[in-house]
Amino acid sequence: MNYFSPLILLACLVGTYAGLAQAPTIDQSIAMKSVSNPQLSPNGRWVAYTLTRANWDDNAYDTDIWIANTATGDKFQLTHSKKSNSSPAWSPDGKWLAFLSTRDEKAQLYVISPTGGEARPVSKFETGVTAFKWSPTGKQLIFSATVPDIKTDKERKEKYSDYEVVRDDYKMVHLYLLDSLDKEKPAVAKALTKGIGFSVGSFVVSPDGKKIAFDASKNPDIINGHTSDLYVLTLGDTITRKIVSLKGPDQNPVWSPDGQQIAFTTANENEFYFYSNRLIATIPATGGTPKTLTNTFDENASLLEWTVSGILFSGYQKTAAHLFSIDPASLKIDRLTKPDKLIATQFSFSKDGRQMAFVGAMPNQYPEIQTSIVSAFAPRVLTDMGTQLASYKTATREVVSWKSVDGNDIEGILIKPANYDPARKYPLLVVIHGGPTGIDLPSVTADRYYPVEQFAAKGALVLRPNYRGSAGYGSKFRALNVKNLGLGDYDDVISGVDYLIGKGMVDKDKVGAMGWSQGGYISAFITTYSDRFKATSVGAGISNWATYYQNTDITPFTRQYLQGTPWDNADVYQKTSPISYINRAKTPTLIQHGELDKRVPIANAYELRLALEDKGVPVKMVVYKGFGHGITKPKSMRQVMEENYRWFSKYIWGESL
């Protein structure tokens, strides 16, 4: 027997706690499969969906398309090629599925029979396909793509090698038409939009197939997202007209069933769109004055479909997520899904709008592909992802709430060991979500970044707080950390810690915190602002808002939340920056960051690391080569999770690993 096999080494790594063998290992957690993007066939009889799994051999997360029968639940894998196959879309007659595949490196369009067989390529576009839609005739596909290099671009690269003029060198995204889908070789795409006047975002074809509604911004730079407006293109002559131009982003057009109106999401002249509610509005397809519909819905309304029965949209309600319908005439809103605690997302609908498919879960359940009649909700579960957990004894999740320092109600997800003993006091690990408009939910998903199941099995409580700014609690709650980032967030976290200590559940001397992105920023704030925590882990976190503002690719985010720039609002930038409190810092800190992160540039990590080192605070920094803001490969995810496991095992449990 090889006593140094990977499995034995992993067992040594994760310790000998009695309940540990009953929890999934880090590798097993990373390898958990997940389903998403259910697409109901026009007749409602079939659902195409994607299944994602870890491919350890190629160090990738691979996605394939599966088909399920909505009546029998029978299912089969439709695509089997190497690389990922995603974004399935039914032809209007239901005889074909189009999808995107990276089997030739760049994403291209393929079509396949839903009964199986070989997929046929229908595009060979130089830059790859971004998104696509079927024409209602089923004889054409419209797609968006980044424009290829023109002759002068190629000559420039040849003469000077490659370089970029910042805020000037943009490659626009435009619309293209494929109208020869029955040929053996991919057809040449016809450009429908051109030039440097705008860059296309989402788009949809009118019911009669003669027009395309789309949103487009000044250029593809994320800092110009607020310039997104609505356009209508006539396919016959490719003439484009702008029909909506409100302050803030206007996006996601959806046609009315008769093709006379267009629904869309809008900030409705609110310049602070990062934390204000996105509303649904309608406008005549020829242009006019927009009419907002969802003013009484105090959350972001995610527009889905316009059927003869009303406009369908989804939205969070605290730690639940539901489907809603609004009558565009009376503005009456009805919730269509139940019970209250259901978490339902990613909806699609049959051609007549009477049936739907979605990803759904109740608390402590794994998300599954489900179907139901729209008007009489009675879900049928088609997948069995939850069986992956059958051989493990996993932690349990429940929603808890407490009062923050300023009296605001805060909720969070409390994760307890499977063998939780109410007579014991446990170590507490706080895992903080990103966003800040993210949200933690009580459903079960595969661990990423932080080995929650391993921590619970080792004997810890895990708290995932939905701190101020989180989605699901209304626009006022999302705005509570404006000019108050870090400070208000810390109050929400520490009051949750004190709540659990007061309940007699937590050992106050064994508390740690961790998070990625905005969660990494709050963890960095905890590092320098507080001495209450034994250890922290800062994943892709901000340490200095001025450094962040000067380097990030999303400067409007900072200007909105901090109400200005470092040049005109220096006091706010200073008081909300972890680095401002470095002289207080005592907490051992693990820093993890992607080398090529543009969202939170790695200068933030180096700044925090050096400051902690100068102050004599234990610090370790790990840089993930080739990665941006997220870790997208399973082997690197393994290192992230094992690094966190070792860090907290040392500082919370006193182990030497």
Which residue matches tokens 């259901």?
342
Average confidence score pLDDT of the chain = 94
The pLDDT value recorded for residue 13 is 37
Residue 14 has pLDDT above 60, yes or no: no
The pLDDT value recorded for residue 383 is 97
Residue 26 has pLDDT above 90, yes or no: yes
> Which CATH number do you get for residue 431?
3.40.50.1820
Q: Around Cβ 222, how many Cβ atoms within 10 Å? A: 15
Residue 128, by phi and psi: left (phi above 0), alpha (psi -120 to 50) or beta?
A: left
Residue 648 has pLDDT above 90, yes or no: yes
Could you tell me the pTM of the whole model?
A: 0.93
The pLDDT value recorded for residue 500 is 98
- Count structural domains, the chain: 1
Residue with the bigger pLDDT between 7 and 440: it is 440
Residue 337 lies in a domain: no
Residue with the bigger pLDDT between 18 and 587: it is 587
The pLDDT value recorded for residue 104 is 84
Residue 15 has pLDDT above 60, yes or no: no
Residue 169 has pLDDT above 90, yes or no: no
Residue 177 lies in a domain: no
pLDDT confidence bin for 468, thresholds 50/70/90: very high
Residue 652 has pLDDT above 70, yes or no: yes
Inter-CA distances, 425 with 21, 343, 394, 412, 506, Å: 22, 31, 19, 19, 5
Q: Which among 341, 292, 303 is positioned nearest to 320, based on CA atoms?
A: 341
The pLDDT value recorded for residue 18 is 41
The pLDDT value recorded for residue 83 is 87
Residue 649 has pLDDT above 80, yes or no: yes
The pLDDT value recorded for residue 536 is 98
Residue 413 has pLDDT above 90, yes or no: yes
Residue 507 has pLDDT above 50, yes or no: yes
Bridge partners, residue 416, by sequence: 396
The pLDDT value recorded for residue 417 is 97
CA distance 143 to 520: 37
Residue 594 has pLDDT above 60, yes or no: yes
**Mean pLDDT to the nearest integer, 359-367:** 97
Residue 606 lies in a domain: yes
Residue 592 lies in a domain: yes
CA distance 464 to 539: 15
Share of residues in the chain with pLDDT > 90 (%): 89
Question: For residue 529, what are the contacts with CB-CB under 8 A and spacing of at least 6?
Answer: 486, 490, 578, 581, 584
The pLDDT value recorded for residue 8 is 30
**Mean pLDDT to the nearest integer, 493-502:** 98
Residue 534 lies in a domain: yes
DSSP, collapsed to helix, strand or coil, labels residue 155 as: helix
**Mean pLDDT to the nearest integer, 473-486:** 96
The pLDDT value recorded for residue 2 is 34
Residue 28 lies in a domain: no
The pLDDT value recorded for residue 105 is 85
The pLDDT value recorded for residue 4 is 29
DSSP, collapsed to helix, strand or coil, labels residue 575 as: helix
Residue 315 has pLDDT above 50, yes or no: yes
Residue 379 lies in a domain: no
Q: How far apart are the first and last CA of the chain?
A: 24
Please answer whether residues 72 and 117 qualify as being in contact, where contact means their C-beta atoms are separated by less than 8 angstroms.
Answer: no
pLDDT confidence bin for 7, thresholds 50/70/90: very low
Cα 578 to chain center, whole Å? 26
Backbone angles phi, psi at 613, to 5 degrees: -60, -45
Residue 21 has pLDDT above 60, yes or no: no
The pLDDT value recorded for residue 5 is 34
Domain that holds residue 475: 393-651
Cα 501 to chain center, whole Å? 32
Share of residues in the chain with pLDDT > 70 (%): 97
Burial (CB count within 10 angstroms: exposed 0-12, middle 13-18, buried 19+), residue 127: middle
Residue 358 has pLDDT above 70, yes or no: yes
Residue 9 has pLDDT above 90, yes or no: no
CA distance 226 to 201: 12
- The string over 34-69, giving b where at least 16 C-beta atoms fall within 10 Å of a residue's C-beta and e elsewhere, is bbebbbbbbebebbbbbbbebbeeeebbbbbbbbbe
Residue 620 lies in a domain: yes
Residue 562 has pLDDT above 70, yes or no: yes
CA distance 252 to 637: 33
